[in-house]
Amino acid sequence: MIISHIILKNWRNFRSVDIPLGRRVFLVGPNASGKSNLLDALRFLRDIAKSEGGGLQKAVSDRGGISKIRCLAARRDPQVEIEVHLTENYGQEPIWKYAVGIKQESRGHRQPYLLYERVWEGDTLILDRPDEQDKKDSLRLIQTHLEQINANVQFREIARFFESIYYLHLVPQLLRHPETFTGPTSKEDPFGRSFMERVIKTPEKTRKSRLRKIETALQFAVPQLKQLTDTKDERGVPHLEAVYEHWRPKAGKQDEEEFSDGTLRLISFLWSLLEGDSLLLMEEPELSLHTGIIRRLPGMIWRIQNKKKRQVIMSTHSTELLSDRGIGGEEVMLLTPDVEGTRVEPASSIAELRALLEDGLSIGEVAIPRTEPREIKQLSLFDES
């Protein structure tokens, strides 16, 4: 399944969002416009649906409470609302719709509670809360039916889909030196602290197959890299190991501690694409990569996701990434900050941009300049006086 539509009300940067989503989506906007927060709306649904350590209360608490996720422009409108439509393929009618509205208690423990929770199968409403039981026992409203196995039997397919959403924004230093970062490791491991464990726990046949495919790509992208394998040191700690050709008769070996940031991020990017068929959320996959590689990422994503029929939603600041002529204006969501909250609209819905695309310009050439702050030229005049 894919998320074909998302509607947000008072979620973080966004007073109101109502946009279609395709199988491949690029989020483009200035710094602090809300690209990560838009992705987090989907992570929030995943965190509610998690079978272990999930639920509405935990998902809200992890984000600092309702006051931290409610849009500052909401003023007297206290509720936060998320609705998504699920379909098998882009352009088809939804097979499921899920909507949740939450609010904070005005006194007492200030717990978040449900204003409503609704589920549609096709056009048929099969869940509409608060129901009669909720009205008799208001404590039931601190939990969604989505998170309860005994209550979501009619729409468990939605819960499983949300729980499978995968987010990765690999931090190379965290992967190289996980022991230097204290604190518990999140099961989802969004920043790659346990990326090596994730790789090594993959069944051997699948793991070897993926590493061979990644090795083939790296041979074109990373000079002198010849071989990529997984291994364990004498303590049983997993590592990735590559062979680099040089002037010596026998090529030298390096592991992930010696890989460049770009190599590590490219490996994690390719692994994430090859792993599973669930919705994949990514932040700025172009970081640390050469522009020649960046230009080819959209094509790689398209080929792999078409085989797996999976959806990929990513944020980017890169003109090079969006220089691919195969990217349509409907695939790019333009985020524009405003005093009433960030607006989100497909690039193809903006007449000016649509005309430039029809004239032959790439989406990167027309969208990225539009995201520059108006007074950005003044930044060059900054000094310490």
Tens digit of each residue's pLDDT (9 = 90 or more) over 345-369: 999 999 999 899 888 888 999 888 8
CA dist 87 and 123 (Å) reads 13
Given a cut of 60, whether residue 247 has pLDDT beyond it is no
Given a cut of 70, whether residue 380 has pLDDT beyond it is no
Given a cut of 80, whether residue 378 has pLDDT beyond it is no
Given a cut of 70, whether residue 231 has pLDDT beyond it is yes
Which region holds residue 12: left if phi is over 0, alpha if psi is between -120 and 50, else beta?
Answer: left
Given a cut of 80, whether residue 377 has pLDDT beyond it is no
Better-predicted residue by pLDDT, 328 or 8? 8
Angle (CA) 240-286-2 rounded to 5° is: 90
- Alpha-carbon distance values, 254 to 74, 202, 241, 251, 304 (Å): 52, 22, 6, 10, 28
Give me the pLDDT at residue 379, please.
56
CA dist 112 and 122 (Å) reads 29
What is the CATH topology of the domain spanning 1-22+37-164? Rossmann fold (3.40.50)
Residue 194 — pLDDT band, cuts 50, 70, 90? Answer: confident
Q: How many CA atoms lie within 13 A of 127 on its CB side?
A: 22
Rounded to the nearest 10°, the torsion over CA 226, 290, 240, 185 is -170
The runs of H, that is alpha helices, within the chain are 35-49, 56-61, 66-69, 132-136, 156-163, 172-176, 195-200, 204-221, 261-274, 291-294, 297-308, 351-358, 363-367
Residue 2 — pLDDT band, cuts 50, 70, 90? Answer: very high
Give me the pLDDT at residue 181, please.
66
Instruction: Tell me the pTM.
Output: 0.90
Of 318, 329, 385, 335, the closest CA to residue 359 belongs to: 329
Segment 367-374 mean pLDDT: 82
Instruction: Find all residues with CB under 8 Å of 202, minimum gap 6, and list them.
Output: 210, 275
Contact (CB, 8 A) for 190 and 283: no
Tens digit of each residue's pLDDT (9 = 90 or more) over 37-79: 999 999 999 999 998 888 999 999 999 999 899 998 887 788 9
The rounded Cα 27 to chain-centroid distance in angstroms is 10
The rounded Cα 67 to chain-centroid distance in angstroms is 23
Contact (CB, 8 A) for 196 and 179: no
Tens digit of each residue's pLDDT (9 = 90 or more) over 207-225: 999 999 988 888 888 878 8
Domain boundaries, the chain: 1-22+37-164
Given a cut of 80, whether residue 108 has pLDDT beyond it is no
Give me the pLDDT at residue 248, please.
59
Tens digit of each residue's pLDDT (9 = 90 or more) over 138-149: 899 999 999 999
Residue 376 — pLDDT band, cuts 50, 70, 90? Answer: low
Candidate ranges 6-10, 50-54, 136-140, 302-306; pick with highest mean pLDDT: 6-10
Better-predicted residue by pLDDT, 237 or 44? 44
Give me the pLDDT at residue 256, please.
82
11: which strand partners? Answer: 14, 70
DSSP at 344: E
